[in-house]
Each structure stands twice: as structure tokens, then as C-alpha cells.
Amino acid sequence: MIYAALTIVFYAAQVQLYEKSMKILYTSSDVHKAIKTVFAKRQQRRIAVVAYLGKNAEAFLPAPEGIKIICCPEPGATSPSSVRSLISRGANVLFADDLHAKVYWSEGGCVITSANISNRALGRTNQKEIGVFINSVDFDIDRLIDGISPYDITQKHMDRLEKQDRKIKRALGNEGQQKTKKHYLEWYESPYKESWKNGWWSGSDLKTAKSGKERSKQEFNISDPVNALNVSKSQVQKNDWLLCFEVTGNGIKNLEWMYVDFVVPVDAKDKGAYESDYPYQAIQVHKLNQYPEPPFSIEGTFRAAFKKAVKDYGTKKIESIKGLIPPKSLIDNVADYLK
């Protein structure tokens, strides 16, 4: 009897101790408050192992400098712009494939939850999240990290994520997306910059190829695409952004963005559309407001800076770039003029 009584007392004490070390988080607001508590002290080791980084994810992490963030590079779920923004603010961001866990850990506590770092999960929305707050010593964060095999991000990883993200947004028609204007210097100073290419033409009124119109009608039910540009084989691909301009004897003009929906071969008999040196056409079907946000906005100050930089670099050299990728010296010179 005495032994049984002591066992019950011991068990009750253990339950009480466990309840004190764990707190149930019943709402998204509770989860967010707990995450902010966990990450409040910058001098502590702080780690977020989370499936996805939604758009504007940095808004939900206090003082991201020094936080190790491991996320899954899932197109349409993890935002490339959030990855770049968090890296710019000093976070150490890594990728891990097939990751679906959501754990926020520091020496001050640990949150295990259903919530990603996103406005939908942690903002003022109707999405329901839940979690638990426990002592950090009760969770082996290094065991979790070892099990998910995180890896360093490269430009190649970001280019792949960016292009697939554009494709998904394009398919969704950008419904519900809020447009923002990113200045050239914001793009220039960001890590793992969103890629774009130069698209130029000169001296002709280009007609849209019959093959381009036929594919546009077939895929989008639109007979007359908004924009077309003649290119050589493999110069551009679907979902590329092209910064297009007309080359003249005095420099360049008519600077505009073009989004590539697809690329088609042009028949040599298609007069007004076929060029022997550039026998393919990149096609933009819709107006620009139907596409994802371009890498940066074209404003008056940028137009002037880009024209000066192209003049310094030389239009002939621009025309000779086979892959249409803008050279670093041109990119740097534009920034110098803007600064």
C-alpha cells in the first residue's frame, strides 16, 4: 500500500512537471507569439526548420540576423524573394528536399507546430494552426538537422526555384497577388539575383510568326500575341524575362520587359517574321499585368542609367552576346550611374 501510494505521488509529480514544461498553442496568434519568444534573444543559437517560406516571410521573424533557416525549395510554396530577403538581413538559409517539418528552436525554448513562415500561417487570416511550446533541452535539434540533410544554396538552385515559381504564378494568372515595384538597386544588391536576359532588335517592323499565332490560339485561345522577338536556337526559354530594347545608330530606345510564354521555330517562307540569323521567335501572349512581377521596375532613372551603360559597353558588343545574358560590367555600370 505504501509503495503504491508513493508511486501515485511520484507519477503525479512527473505529470505536473511535464505540464509546466509544455504549453499547448491553440491558435495561429499563440504560435506566432511563441516563435517570437523563442527567437527573442539574438545571442542564443536560433534555428528554424520549416517546410516553406511564404511571401514576406521575414515579417514574421524578429531580428533574423544569425538565425539558421532550413526550408524546402518547393516551387509555389517557398518564395524566392523571401529567401533572398532573409539572406540579405543576415539569416543563414539552407535547403532540404522533401522537408515538411515545422520546428522553431533556441536555447530559450522550442515550438513544434503546423505553421510555416508565411502570412497565411502566421498573419491575420482564417487559416488555423496549432502547436506546442516545450523546453529546448527536451528536443534534439541536431538529430533533426542530421536527418533532413540540409545543403547550401547556390545560384543554380535559386534560378531553378525562380523559374518554376514564375511558371506556377503564370498558370494561376497571378490571382490575388499584390504587385510591388522593386528598384534596380534593390535587385542589384540582393543575393542570388533573379535572372533576366537582354532582348534587342533593330531596323525592322517584326511580324508575329504564323507558328507563334497558331500555338497562342491553341494553348491560350488568343490569335494575336502581344509581343514577339526573333532569337537564335536556345537563346531563350519558356518563363524567361527579357529586358527588350531597340538598337539605333545613336544607342537604344523603347525599353520594356517581355515575358516568354513559349519559343517557336519560324518558317523561312513566313515573310516579315523570318530572319535567317534568328530563325526562332519568343512569344509573349498577354499584357504584362497578367504575369509575375519582373526582376525590377523600369523607371525614368533606370532608363537613363541603362542607356548610358549600353553606350559605354557598345551596342555591337551587346548584339554579339550569344546567350543574351547581360555581362557583369554592364550590370555594375548601371548601378554606378544610379548611385
Domain range for 100 is 21-153
Residue 128 shares a structural domain with residue 178: no
What pLDDT digit, counting tens, does each position of 248-279 carry?
Answer: 888 899 999 999 999 999 999 999 999 999 99
Residue 186 shares a structural domain with residue 90: no
Q: Are 10 and 18 in contact (CB under 8 A)?
A: no
Q: Residue 55 — very low, low, confident or very high, per pLDDT cuts 50/70/90?
A: confident
Residues counted in the chain = 339
Residue 207 shares a structural domain with residue 243: yes
Q: What is the CATH number of the domain that holds 74?
A: 3.30.870.10
Residue 164 shares a structural domain with residue 91: no
Q: Mean pLDDT throughout 35-48?
A: 91
Q: Using the predicted structure, report yes or no on whether residue 334 has a pLDDT greater than 80.
A: yes
What pLDDT digit, counting tens, does each position of 304-327 carry?
Answer: 999 999 999 999 999 898 889 999
State residue 168's pLDDT score: 86
State residue 174's pLDDT score: 52
Residue 164 shares a structural domain with residue 149: no
Q: Using the predicted structure, report yes or no on whether residue 198 has a pLDDT greater than 70.
A: yes
Residue 95 shares a structural domain with residue 191: no
State residue 4's pLDDT score: 45
Query: Which of 153, 180, 208 is the last residue in one of the domains?
Result: 153
Q: How far is CA 4 from CA 7, 16, 17, in A?
A: 5, 18, 20
End-to-end Cα separation, the chain, in angstroms? 83
- Residue 147 vs residue 122, higher pLDDT: 147
Q: Are 86 and 57 in contact (CB under 8 A)?
A: yes
Q: Using the predicted structure, report yes or no on whether residue 114 has a pLDDT greater than 90.
A: yes
State residue 20's pLDDT score: 52
H or E stretch at 200: strand 197-201
pTM value is 0.69
Asked, for residue 298, whether it belongs to a domain, the answer is yes
State residue 24's pLDDT score: 95
Q: What's the grid cell of residue 303? A: 532608363
Name the region of 209 (left: φ>0; alpha: ψ -120 to 50; beta: rest).
beta
C-alpha to C-alpha distance for 310 and 334, rounded to whole angstroms:
9
Q: What's the grid cell of residue 236? A: 531563350
Angle between helix 80-88 and helix 155-172 axes, rounded to 10 deg = 140
- Residue 299 vs residue 58, higher pLDDT: 299
Query: Which of 120, 153, 186 is the last residue in one of the domains?
Result: 153
Residue 239: exposed, middle, or buried by beta-carbon count in 10 A (0-12, 13-18, 19+)? buried
Residue 98 shares a structural domain with residue 55: yes
Q: Which amino acid is at 229?
A: L
State residue 173's pLDDT score: 65
Q: Mean pLDDT throughout 59-68?
A: 86
Residue 39 shares a structural domain with residue 182: no
Residue 81 shares a structural domain with residue 212: no
Residue 132 shares a structural domain with residue 256: no
Q: Using the predicted structure, report yes or no on whether residue 176 has a pLDDT greater than 80.
A: no
How far is C-alpha 238 from the geometric centre of its chain's CA atoms? 17
- Residue 168 vs residue 146, higher pLDDT: 146
The strand pairing partners of 93, in sequence order, are 69
Residue 190 shares a structural domain with residue 55: no
Asked, for residue 6, whether it belongs to a domain, the answer is no
3-state secondary structure at position 198: strand
Q: Are 104 and 39 in contact (CB under 8 A)?
A: yes
Query: Which of 111, 138, 153 is the last residue in one of the domains?
Result: 153
State residue 180's pLDDT score: 59
Asked, for residue 322, whether it belongs to a domain, the answer is yes
Q: Are 298 and 241 in contact (CB under 8 A)?
A: no
Residue 149 shares a structural domain with residue 297: no
Q: Are 281 and 229 in contact (CB under 8 A)?
A: yes
> What is the total count of domains within the chain?
2
Q: Mean pLDDT throughout 8-13?
A: 39
Asked, for residue 81, whether it belongs to a domain, the answer is yes
